[in-house]
Structure 1
């Protein structure tokens, strides 16, 4: 399936049903199809052909997301651009991915103006709202360029659907090539792994996280079911809680850092969350202590584990597996990443390519039609990620005797202190068990005595204070003195990416 086929499938079961809702305005499936068709026609008018790369730079916006379906309809390849990247990084992504057209929101016009002179390959610039000035087309003029009648539906070469930028170990972005087959596998696994409404009812998905990332691809199974996407333009936890009962939301996704904010919000316990069937969490490890709290106060939590190169569904832990048959919380599974999904083979490998037995720690590797086709124009990185015939996730973990997958850490985040391996995730989970801590990050910094010392940066709960000495003693009681931080810093907030991940690189940079 192409990306646009998910929209068309939803329209086939109800063209007049709500497709996108934002700020109280609702667009039907038929309306979004018309917009997508016009975008496809206009792109063809401006020279876009099957396989052309078209980028979208926008926050959460229904028009920008409708453009994605138009890109697909024209047989072009969608390149989502993270608006929180620095201008230089976005310039490099647009250049390296051979983008020919950029559709962008006016909020990012200054960024676009800075990079435009260095991108001669982009022949068409379209501002989706407001007056773009002389160097770009307005949305109205671009849409007016649509060919008369329907554009001939096209498919890109090699089933390529999108190219997603991801930073490598050198910091230079790599282009993850995701195919229609990758997205179809992800969609099938989502629909078979998690609860969805029975026939006749339709899901309602609340998108607070960026549509350029996980929140966007999780829309595809909802659209295929004829569901409604409620789009939040800006992240606001209070508004998020108000929208759930207002729209009878059934599904949503947040990374752990934003879930911690939900748990700290004063309106949570008074909010009617009875419509929720599936509250997905992922993108980073979640504290088992906070997860148990979320199960009691929010309800049907559902874990997913994946990465850009194998989107979302490497392993899952659906809502019912978070509890035992008697209804009590299954604390023994809360620190796991769930179980490998039916269409993914998961193994654990040492550095020499030997698959390790149950319980032993090594790099998590996978085989599946979920895995990307490779990095765009980067055969060396593709070969490195697929050595020994398996896709290498870069995560350290193990499988237990019951088949649960446990992620110990990112390989690059492991700290070697005094000759011992310390996994930052384990230390973070111990810190997050303290009731005065809202969020934290653990890093390793050079140390003359230890080689590396364990350093924690913590964000207190609203209205609370954290005593570093008391917190150090608290952690030592749980995981011992070797793993306990040698240094604890208290910050009012932590640097986060657009999807809510704590940016450890920024934290390390702050220490010089």
Structure 2
């Protein structure tokens, strides 16, 4: 099996059924299969062999997502590239991944022109649209290979996707996901959540992240995927009603925007079977509100290294037997998934008693094959024979998992991972900054708010808004601080290490 299996399974249930829909226009399953085979032929004609890495840089779009299955048919490895990353971060990822081919939208011409000269392994550029510079136009690229043989090939070492993620230092790592990992994730989705009839899935969140891999179980059932190419909460609500959407996914930040939207109360949401949320901490009070005003909410907890489904909280588990909301359960991450073993381990790698906090660790076929070209990080993450998530939590007597902290200095804001060291490095590049520390603080909108405490050089001054703009230019808006505090000193240990726990306590008053 490759990723193309999910598409082909859906096509076997009806080639004329709608598969990918944007702005009211649909590509049928048969059309998406044909396009994916044309893409596979073009990739092979361009010299792409099994195991080669192919990147896609695109906002949500049916054509670019269909290319994922063409990559799979060549036995190559799909490398989703987040268009919201800063240019250098994407250059670092493409370099780390050894990408030979990049398919990209015209909106990213400038970014590609900036980073392509840094990437000696990148030999083929394909532009969705007409050709430009060194990039061949998508239609011309397909036409040149129209007569090439289209035969599905198996992936090398079963790795089907390379997903970029940060490390404790903020440097990118490549998570090697196998077909077995994504089969397991898909099986858990189909086991744990409600599906009645052919699903209709609305994808507003980026297809480079959770919203994309959730398409695979939808396709396995022959469902329709309605794609949004830009975030618009009002349009999101309109499309749920217009297409009678049954399933969707949003991070908490966007759910809060849905709750605040003036059209929510007048929108018919009765078709919803499962509204997934995850990728960031969620306010339990806002979740309770969503249960009453939106309907069947469903949590998922995972990470790139164990995609999506370490634990689940199905819609019915949010409520007691009498139908009332179970407030305690709302603060949990659900129960470990059927094909996953979860343990809470102490520092010595042994399990701790029920109710005791420790690191959340995982075993099973959901866990990645390792980090690409990084055996040291792979060994660290798999110490004691378990995958270490870096999250601190506990299991209660009923088997529910609660996440209480993160072992690493990672901040999850608006569904995206931000590593404090990377933000600190960007801040320290400013000539006025002498020292700094970055922490995540609870935030009703973002889940966590990137917060910087800054120590300036003597007699130096800088406006906080200018400092935010400076960081945005270096590493992108997602990672830039939403709050900056100027302090005269930073709390430190006797060894000179900045005490972030003291900083958080001061900022939160706890």
Residue 113 (structure 2) pairs with residue 113 (structure 1): yes
**2:133 corresponds to 1:141:** no
- Kindly tell me: are residues 381 and 94 of structure 1, through their superposed partners in 2, closer, same or farther at Cα, counting changes over 3 Å? same
User: Cα offset for 1:445?
Assistant: 6.2
**Cα distance, 1:215–1:502 mapped onto 2, change above 3 Å:** farther
Instruction: Report the secondary structure of 1:274's partner residue.
Output: coil
One of 229, 234, 237 as aligned partner of 1:238 = 234
Alpha-carbon distance change, 170 to 505 in structure 1, aligned in 2, over 3 angstroms: farther
Deviation at 1:134, TM superposition (A): 2.8
Q: Which residue number in structure 1 is paired with residue 369 of structure 2? A: 373
* TM score, norm. by length of structure 1: 0.83
Contact between 1:45 and 1:147, CA under 8 Å: does it hold in 2? Answer: no
Moved more, 224-233 or 147-156: 147-156
Q: Tell me the CA shift for residue 502 of structure 1.
A: 10
DSSP-derived class of the 1:412 partner: coil
**Which residue does the alignment assign to 1:221?**
217
Aligned to 1:461: none
Name the counterpart of 1:345.
Answer: 341
Contact preservation (8 Å) 1:167, 1:174: yes
1:507, 1:389 → 2: CA distance?
39
2: CA distance, partners of 1:81 / 1:357: 41
Q: Would you say 1:44 and 2:44 are equivalent positions?
A: yes
How do 1:301-312 and structure 2 match up within 5 A?
Answer: 301-312=297-308
Deviation at 1:503, TM superposition (A): 5.0
Structure 1: tracts of 5 or more residues without a match? 416-423, 433-437, 449-488
**Tell me, what secondary structure is at the counterpart of 1:14?**
coil
What is the SS of the residue equivalent to 1:107? Answer: helix
Local SS of the residue matching 1:388: helix
Return 300-309 or 164-173, whichever deviates more: 164-173
Q: Return the alpha-carbon distance in structure 2 between the equivalents of residues 266 and 245 of structure 1.
A: 15
Match of 1:59 in 2: 59
Q: Secondary structure at the match of 1:242?
A: helix
Tell me how far apart the structure 1 counterparts of residues 282 and 477 of structure 2 sit (CA, whole Å).
12
More deviation in 376-385 or 502-511? Answer: 502-511
| Structure 2 match to 1:484 | none
1:491-510 matches, within 5 Å, as: 506-507=481-482
How far did 1:508 drift? 7.0
Q: Is 2:454–2:484's contact at 8 Å kept on the other side of the alignment?
A: no
- Is the Cα contact below 8 Å between 2:252 and 2:446 reproduced in 1? no
**Consecutive unaligned residues in structure 2, runs of 5 or more:** 412-438, 456-463, 488-510
Structure 1 residues 17 and 124: CA distance shift in structure 2, 3 A: same
Taking the TM superposition and a 5 Å limit, the aligned residue runs for 1:9-24 are 9-24=9-24
> Per the alignment, in what secondary structure is the counterpart of residue 78 of structure 2?
strand
- Residue 302 of structure 1 and its aligned partner are, at CA, apart by 0.2
Residues 141-183 of structure 1 deviation map (CA, whole Å, 9 limit, x = unaligned) = 1111225264111011111110001111111110000000000
Structure 2 partner of 1:182: 181
- Residues 1:100 and 1:445: Cα distance change in structure 2 (over 3 Å): closer
Question: Matched residue of 2:310: which SS?
Answer: strand
Q: Are the counterparts in 2 of residues 106 and 132 from structure 1 also a CA contact under 8 Å? A: no
User: SS of the residue aligned with 2:154?
Assistant: coil
Is the 1:338–1:405 Cα contact (8 Å) retained in structure 2? yes
Q: Which residue of 1 aligns with 2:262?
A: 266
In 1, Cα distance between equivalents of 2:70 and 2:410: 43
What is the alpha-carbon distance in structure 2 between the residues aligned to residue 342 and residue 124 of structure 1?
Answer: 42
* Alpha-carbon separation, structure 1, partners of 2:39 and 2:145: 7
Pick closer, same or farther for the CA change 1:109–1:349 going to 2, 3 Å: same
| Corresponding position: 1:319 with 2:342 | no
Q: Count residues with an aligned counterpart.
A: 447
Residues 73-472 of structure 1 aligned to structure 2 (within 5 Å): 73-129=73-129, 131-148=130-147, 150-197=149-196, 201-413=197-409, 428=442, 432=444, 438-439=445-446, 441=448
Give deviations 1:304-348, integer Å, cap 9, x for gaps.
000000000000000011111111111120000000011100011
Residues of 2 paired with 1:312 and 1:304: CA distance? 6
